[in-house]
Amino acid sequence: MKALPVLAGATGMIFVGGSVAVSGHLTDAPVHTVQALRYAVACLLLLAWARAGGSPVLRPRGREWLWLLGVTVTGLVIFNVALVQGSEHAEPAVIGVAVACVPILLAAVGPVLEGRRPAARVLAAATVVTIGAMLVQGLGRTDAAGLFWAAVTFGCEAAFTLLAVPVLGRHGPLGVSVHATWMGAAMFTVLALTVEGPAAVTRIHRDDLLAGGYLAVLVTAVAFLLWYTCVTRLGPGRAGLLTGLTPIAAAATGVALGGPLPSPAVWLGITIVATGLALGLTTRPATRSRPVVGAAPEPAGRP
């Protein structure tokens, strides 16, 4: 197991999990406007990091525009819309369970995008992690519309990783993060002006700015960079196991903010997630097989 990539991915997922409580402070804010500002600030921070480190941000070319556009539209825009719409028809746990199923999809599809066959042991580990994450998250009430938006959330969460695989080789984690954030800022700006109007900026309060700042710095600029670094080093299949840490981080944040201690079912879920991580991340990467016909080429520079 490569410790640094695992630590990077785990840290990114912990930041994402902690954002659940923070996002709750934005329920009365002009959401699209806050999101536009969030991604704009994150992009500026990433560009500053690139400049300080002397890392060039390459201009996309050809089909790369489509891959990056797919990452942004699904993983940033539709994902956030699905969260808002889904919350009106389903309890948060329903959406959380949908996201908890992502490791299985990443373990099955991710290696194919790299020209490899899925590893049976990683698939088994992903199933274990998903079961544990579901126990941590719990279940909730919903209706048909809630189930639909939960499915959309599941697909978008997976697409955020899978659609980035073909462009991570040339652009790297930093380049993909920069392009995703400026595209996200542009799209949310259009949504904000259309839905909320230019005056929405005046309805943003101090608490909204603090919550948006946390989302921009830790959940976007830092977490994006850490996550894509993990995906580049471990591959989407094994990296996807770490998404099981998100509900655990959310539960821990709730306790830190004064919530009740976890129930026995949550502790059992945490144990199962840890078991799945140990099963999937302590194995040696599978031997590379012949690339699948028509699959995207494996990112360059991968160890």
CA–CA dist 249, 152 (Å, integer): 23
CA–CA dist 169, 171 (Å, integer): 6
- Cα R_g (the chain), whole angstroms: 19
CA–CA dist 201, 191 (Å, integer): 13
Q: Is 287 helix (H, G, I), strand (E, B) or coil?
A: coil
Q: Which amino acid is at 295?
A: A
Sign of torsion over alpha carbons 261, 266, 272, 273: negative
Q: Which amino acid is at 132?
A: G
Q: Using one digit for the tens of pLDDT, what is the confidence trace for 152-174? A: 988 998 999 999 999 999 999 99
Helix-then-strand count for the chain, H and E = 14, 0
Can you give the pTM of this predicted structure? 0.84
3-state secondary structure string across 8-61: HHHHHHHHHHHHHHHHHHHCCCCHHHHHHHHHHHHHHHHHHHHHHHCCCCCCCC
Sign of torsion over alpha carbons 141, 262, 21, 9: negative
Q: What percent of the chain has pLDDT over 90?
A: 51
Q: Using one digit for the tens of pLDDT, what is the confidence trace for 250-289? A: 777 767 767 677 788 888 988 999 999 999 988 554 444 3
